[in-house]
Structure 1
Amino acid sequence: MANEPHPWVAWAEHLQRWGLAQPIAVLLEALGPLRWVFAQFLYGGLPLLTTQPNSSQWQALLHILEDDAAQREFINLLLEEPHQ
């Protein structure tokens, strides 16, 4: 598990491959304070959406939604040139 890359890296690579990195970055920036509200809905709904609400994938998403520095870091990762 220690050798697994951070979920953000995999997400960024997939979104870049699909051409969605820029739109997701814009969406995250546009949500502003609503990110926090969305995160609270996810906290409440995760037990209904998945059998593993505490998985690293969900925790990473919630961290992006709740933390301004994490959001900025993920957006920067999204907007980097893809590594080939």
Structure 2
Amino acid sequence: MPKRILTGVVTSNQNEQTVTVSVERRFKHPVLKKTIRKSKKYRAHDENNQFNVGETVRIQECAPKSKTKRWEVIVTETAAS
């Protein structure tokens, strides 16, 4: 089964090797037919502390790294260079 991949914005990088990523999803309300935006924060593992607040990153599911971290940041070519 493939691992889920989400895209979000880094909201905090104060902790060592950890970033907080806010992921927003949009959906249509079943009754009102209005588009609703909901966001959720995920704690993701950042091995080299290379991501800063405001950057858009992709995170992928992984085995638990700590009590709250179940995601890791995927290093893309644009982020690596």
Q: Which TM-score band applies after superposition, normalised by the shorter structure?
A: under 0.3
Whose RCO is larger (CA < 8 A, sep 6+)? Answer: 1
Q: Larger % of strand: which? A: 2
Which is higher, the Rg of structure 1 or of structure 2?
A: 2
Q: Larger % of helix: which? A: 1
